[in-house]
Amino acid sequence: MKKQKRHLFMDFDGLKYNTFPYFTKYYNNKYGINIKEEEFYFEKDACILVNKHIEISEVDLYGACGREFLNSIDWHKDVRPYEGMVDVVNPLINEWLMHTVTARQFSGINTIEYLNEKYVPGAISKIHCIWEKLPNNEYKHISKIDYILSHVSNATDGIFLDDTPKEILRAQDHVRSILFDPHEVFSGMKEIKERATSWKMMGEMIR
């Protein structure tokens, strides 16, 4: 009998790929501000960062970002994976059913597919974007944890990897969850059960 694969749920930005330099450049160019890349290490919500410099609504900010950045291959052509990610993920293809779970909008799925196929071809079986714009211009929202729980029935069925503490805290009581903290900015958060500072370390924890 063929062994059933376990699920590996992986975030996209700040976990598999270092997109922060490109988000920084986009927002600075778009709004004439001066966000530092390092600010994204601590605060993952771009709306909070941008509003430190200029007042703009969440709808307007993410609407523009979705149209101009998230679905642009040109903005993503120079994005690179974090060191060690490819070496860890590619060998897992036969053992794990791997998902990309991201706070990105579904309209930008083309850039997600582009980077995944460029660096880990054939490895990612499913992509879940928590936001999808509907024909009536409203947004459908399915959180990462809700998506994860629709695929696992107990905590041993999968592992969740993310660089955002709030996502880990929402998930870690339901499924094994590991915070990716390459800059060690969240080392003081003792409520986080598991934390890795590199992909090499995370690969050892997964196995």
What is the structure's pLDDT at 19?
98
What is the structure's pLDDT at 138?
82
Averaged over 98-112, what is the pLDDT?
A: 96
Percentage above 70 pLDDT, the chain: 99
Averaged over 167-180, what is the pLDDT?
A: 97
CA gap 192, 166 in Å, rounded: 10
Averaged over 81-107, what is the pLDDT?
A: 96
Cβ 82 vs Cβ 18: under 8 Å: yes
What is the structure's pLDDT at 2?
60
- Neighbour tally for 202: CB within 10 Å: 25
Averaged over 176-193, what is the pLDDT?
A: 97
Averaged over 107-135, what is the pLDDT?
A: 95
Is the pLDDT at 51 greater than 80, yes or no? yes
* DSSP letter string, the chain: -PPPPEEEEE-SBTTTB--HHHHHHHHHHHHT----TTHHHH---HHHHHTTTS---HHHHHHHHIIIIIT-HHHHTT--BPTTHHHHHGGGTTTEEEEEEEEEEGGGHHHHHHHHHHHSTTTEEEEEEEEEE-TTS-EEE--HHHHHHTT-SSGGGEEEEES-HHHHHHHTTTSEEEEE-TT--STT-TT-S-EESSHHHHHHHH-
**pLDDT tens-place string over residues 59-71:** 899 989 999 999 9
**pLDDT tens-place string over residues 70-87:** 999 999 999 999 999 999
